[in-house]
Amino acid sequence: MNLSKSEEQLMQILWKQEKAFMKDLIDAYPEPKPANTTVATLLKRMQDKGFVGYKQFGRSREYYALVRKRDYSSKQMKGFIKNFFNNSTSQFASFFTEQSNMSEDELKDLKKIIDQKIKNKK
């Protein structure tokens, strides 16, 4: 299941803070800050989707992520590669290296990562 752009923005804040009360979440937004009701609605939708949980403290709730950022990012990247690059990671890598204007040092670093992955597969 995917998050909307608004939900994803809030999730980024929650991942960064690890756990937070609504006031903390709103304070972390850039100006103009969203209304409390907007954030409450987003949190409810994200709970329904299984992305966010909370612990009750009297009348306050402390929210936390149920999905790790790395897991969500991985799923999104796989969907992106599937939808835009015919499920071909090599097509994606080719596009990425050509379009991102990587420096020679960045390309060398990427090559080291790939070489290490190849070595680990043997």
CA 69 – CA 74 distance, rounded (Å)? 8
What pLDDT sits at residue 27? 96
pLDDT-derived band at 2, boundaries 50, 70, 90: confident
User: How high is the pLDDT of residue 38?
Assistant: 96
Run of H or E including 20: strand 19-21
Distance CA 41, CA 4 (A): 12
- Pick the more confident residue, 122 or 58: 58
pLDDT in tens, 23-48: 999 999 999 999 999 999 999 999 99
Average pLDDT, the chain: 92
Quick one: pLDDT at residue 95? 87
Q: Where residue 68 falls among pLDDT bands split at 50, 70, 90?
A: very high
Q: Rg (Cα) of the chain, in Å, rounded? A: 19
Query: Across the strands, what pairs with 62?
Result: 21, 55
Asked which of 80-84, 97-101, 108-112, 113-117 is least confident by mean pLDDT, the reply is: 97-101
